Structure formats: C-alpha cells, structure tokens
Amino acid sequence: MKNANHAILVTGGAGFIGSNFVLHWLRRRQGALVNLDLLTYAGNPGNLASLHGDSRYIPLRGDICDAELVASILREHRPALIVHFAAESHVDRSIADPGAFIHTNVQGTFTLLEQARRYWSELNEDERKAFRFLHVSTDEVYGTLAPDDPAFSETTPYAPNSPYAASKAASDHLVRAYHHTYGLPVLTTNCSNNYGPFQFPEKLIPLMILNALEGKPLPVYGDGSNVRDWLYVDDHCAAICAVLDQGRVGETYNIGGNSERKNLDVVRTICDLVDEFRPDAAIGPRDRLIKFVTDRPGHDLRYAIDASKITRELGWRPSLQFEAGLRETVSWYLENSAWIESVRTGAYRDWIRQNYEERVPR
C-alpha cells in the first residue's frame, strides 16, 4: 500500500462517511491520522469511541474555513495525504439555509486547497511526488436522470438542482482548477447515496428504521418513485483507499453501488426487516406506517452511477449488494440504541418536526 506509514489529514472525520473511513483506514494502515472536525450536529466523536487510547488517532476540533488553523495543522503534522469529507450534506437543510452550505462547502474547500497548495509547494521533491489531496463529492452534481437515461459517468456535464448540489459542484470545480492552475496533485470522487452505521438519523434509511421500530409514521416524499443508487459505506471507504493508492492525479472517479432502488421500495424493505428482527403485535406490519407527504422542492427523479472506470482502472467493485448491506444496517441500528439516543438532541427533534411532521399529507 502506498503511503501506508505516512500521516494523513482527514476533514470531517467525525461525520457519517468520515468516521467510517477513519475506522477503515486505521484497521489497515500504521501512520498517524489527524481528524479535523467542527463537530456540528452531524459530527459525533462517539462514532470513534473505539479509538480511545490509540496513539495514531489525533482528533482536533476546528473549522476548515480557519486558514491559520489549517496551516498550523499542516506544519505540525506534515501529512502526505489529505482526504476532504467536511461538508454540509443534507439537501433539505440546504433548501432551508443555503448560506451555510456556501460557507462550508465552497469557502471551506477553497481555504483548505489554498493552505494545501502552500504546504505542498514547500515540500521536498520526494514529498511533493507522494502528496495527494482527495476531495470527496457526490453524484448530485450531475443533476437528474430520466428513467431510461444512461448512468452518470465522469464526463457527464454538471447540472446541480439544489443548493447542496450546487455548492458541491462549485467545490469540485475549485479542486480541478487548483490542479490545472497550480499543479496540486488532486483526486476527486463522486459517490452515490451511502448507507450504513453511524449515519445521522435525519437521512432516509436510519430515519425509516427508527420510526418503524417505534411505530411512528414513515414519511415518504411524493409517491416514492424517486430512484437512488445505494452504496454501502465501507465499500465507499475501500474505494477511496484504492483511489489514494492507485488513482491517476487530476482524475475523477465515480463510486457507485450498482443498486438502483425506488425510495418506496427501500422503505418497504426496511419495514420487512424491522418486522423480522423486532415483531410487535401492537404495531402490526410496519408498511402500514408509510405516509406520503408533500414532495421536496426540485426533487431529482433519479441518480445512477456508472462505476466502470474505477473498476477497470483500479480493480474496485462493491462487495455488498443492497439487500445484504441493508440487513446489516438495520441490525446495527437495532443493536445500538445508546448511540441513537446520544445523537437525538432537541435540535434534531425540532428539525424532524419542521421537515417531515409539518408537511402536508398527499
């Protein structure tokens, strides 16, 4: 493995995908890992509690928009790799407060790139050759697909339709520009919808698992026909490692799960699994809890990822198909009630009430 013993800086490593990546990396590599995270609502140090006492793990609280802080971290820890997860990522929140997404996703990425460029320019020749800046992005930058359209490829034109997607598209363009203008050795990955342990429970899959468990309504936007490609989070982490090890500098790699599903079908599968794992006669079949609500403004119809490039060039492919990964995910949430309660703050409950409970039933 390249850079196996070098320090790595991860931004947003206490979030859902970031924390899974930190755990994945430290199970396989030996160097120090610095985790810079602002610890907002979606960042949870409890995700990484298993690393307590591991001297390789260095958690730091701070904002990627703080240039002086970022510069000091780079000078002190001298990472060979930067993996940039830190982002506001929930579409509904971007509709309610787009400014926060511009601040973190655009300004934050710019600040990180600028400090990385300055740091990289001062490295010796061997260190400069080894250095990589990997930017983690989303398939939502490509816009939406009709039912019979081919899946997104790395050459699909950008057409973001939400403030979140637009902010990520802007950050992708900045990363590309820093490579072509300054020569910064960057890599970009665009992934499909992730699911798995430690996902904040305002997202579709954990929200439906927990509501189904408790016998609460299962709010489904529109008629539930929107399609997403689902990627198990640990498969995503393995793909990022493959890109860091073997990816061509300046390239973009799409990462998908080859698992397109309608939202309604996902919810029904969750109902079946919760019924299987935790039958409750008082609640009855959980699919009775499905409640169609007013659709999200500008809701993209379909996302699908063509991941043939990363398979062809780097040999990566997802190890779990959706049904197996979802079974593992439902099981994890049912067995980790303490973690769930730790993230269900009053602010979280207020958001769920505003975004789901106050929507007009269809």
- The identity of residue 143, as a single letter, is G
Place of tokens 């379909």: 302
Q: Which tokens hold the place of 223?
A: 């008629």
How many angstroms separate the Cα of 120 from the Cα of each of 132, 330, 351?
Answer: 9, 43, 41
Selecting among 37, 92, 140, 306, the annotated active-site residue is 140
Q: Which tokens hold the place of 309?
A: 């490039």
Is 164 among the catalytic positions? Answer: yes
Selecting among 37, 88, 139, 172, the annotated active-site residue is 139
Is 158 among the catalytic positions? Answer: no
Selecting among 142, 164, 178, 303, the annotated active-site residue is 164
- The identity of residue 320, as a single letter, is L
DSSP string, 317-329: --SS-HHHHHHHH
Round to whole Å and give the CA distance between 332 and 145.
32
Is 139 among the catalytic positions? Answer: yes
H helices, E strands: number in the chain: 14, 12
Give the largest CA-CA distance in the chain: 67
Helices within 152-307 (DSSP H only): 163-182, 204-214, 233-246, 263-277
Burial of 177 (0-12, 13-18, 19+ CB in 10 A): middle
Enzyme catalytic residues: 139-140, 164
